[in-house]
Amino acid sequence: MYAQLGDVRFELLQGFERLEARHEARFAKHEVLAGRPRLQAVGNELTELRIGIRLHWLLGNPDTAYKGLLTALEAQQAVSLVFGSGRFVGWFVIERLSERTLIQDGKGRTAARELDVKLTEFVGDPNNPLPTPGIAQAGKNPLLGLLPESVQAQASDLMQAVETGIKIYREAESGVRDLQRLAGAVRELKNDPAGALNMLGEALETGSGVLGRLNNLPQVTSLIGDLSGAAEMAAQASQAASELGGAAASARAAFESGNPLDWLEGGADAVERAGGALADGAAAVETLTAWLAVRRDI
């Protein structure tokens, strides 16, 4: 489990794409004669969280989390936010839920959607605070306790490797989406060479970061062995890394020559192919995520 908000569970592949927190303090401002105003601390504002979620049918039912969050909003009750690591964030109320449908099939069914959730801290009665939810700590599956300690250690190492591999893959997917966005920005700024060059520099930095992550994946997958999905994940990640290597070289050449539009002739296409390769490996990553969830959860 990646996180849980109230009764709504989020798995790793459909985890939060964005998580923003806002903390504020309140001060009373007192005007004085012939001097600068004085400030007096009067307390802290309630913490606000803004969560962005992207749901796709290939990664699970895109209606489940949406309907669960909508039900929680309409109930107007405080819900707890807990991460899979066992970290309890606090109690919150859902103030706003925005939904954008991205893809529908021929029968009008939603295949992909984005959600924006605004949470506001719920303090409640200080004399009768809400309890901290009971949390199953990650890696504390009681079935592992039946095994010898040496086997427990091996199982723990394997789960850690799978979790790391999935994390790298997800970060690469996010990075490729950023590169696709930057390629579009370069294309739109074709009449603004300076602006296009700036976008290209950002794309070069982003692409290098994604490539570095993918280059670390073979070391991780070598620890996973022959688990179902591991070979396919490694193969598609390798294909994506190869395409991104070409895209990065093209971006560097275009940036150094000062001709950002040169990147669009081949480098941007390589980014699209990298995205396609990662999409082809999504099912394998989902298989590994399911394997991990069974062993992590109680």
Query: Is 112 or 156 the better-scoring residue by pLDDT?
Result: 112
Task: Decide: 128 and 91 in contact? Cβ < 8 Å.
Answer: no
Which candidate, 49, 295, 252, 251, places its Cα nearest to that of 155?
295
Mean of pLDDT values over 101-123: 88
Mean of pLDDT values over 157-186: 87
97 pLDDT exceeds 90? Answer: yes
pLDDT confidence band for 70 (50 / 70 / 90): very high
3 token code pair: 């996180």
Q: In this structure, which topology does domain 3-30+38-121 adopt according to CATH?
A: Elongation Factor Tu (Ef-tu); domain 3 (2.40.30)
Q: Determine the pLDDT at residue 156.
A: 67
Q: Where are the domains of the chain?
A: 3-30+38-121, 142-296
Distance CA 162, CA 288 (A): 7
pLDDT confidence band for 104 (50 / 70 / 90): confident
Backbone angles phi, psi at 249, to 5 degrees: -65, -40
Q: How far apart are the first and last CA of the chain?
A: 10
pLDDT in tens, 3-45: 888 888 887 566 688 889 999 999 999 998 888 999 999 989 9
Mean of pLDDT values over 116-126: 88
Query: To which residue do tokens 């001060």 refer?
Result: 27
Query: To which residue do tokens 């504020």 refer?
Result: 24
Task: Decide: 83 and 42 in contact? Cβ < 8 Å.
Answer: no
48 pLDDT exceeds 90? Answer: yes
Q: For the ranges 164-173, 209-218, 283-292, which has the lowest average pLDDT? A: 283-292
Distance CA 76, CA 80 (A): 13
Mean of pLDDT values over 62-75: 89
CATH of domain 142-296: 1.20.120
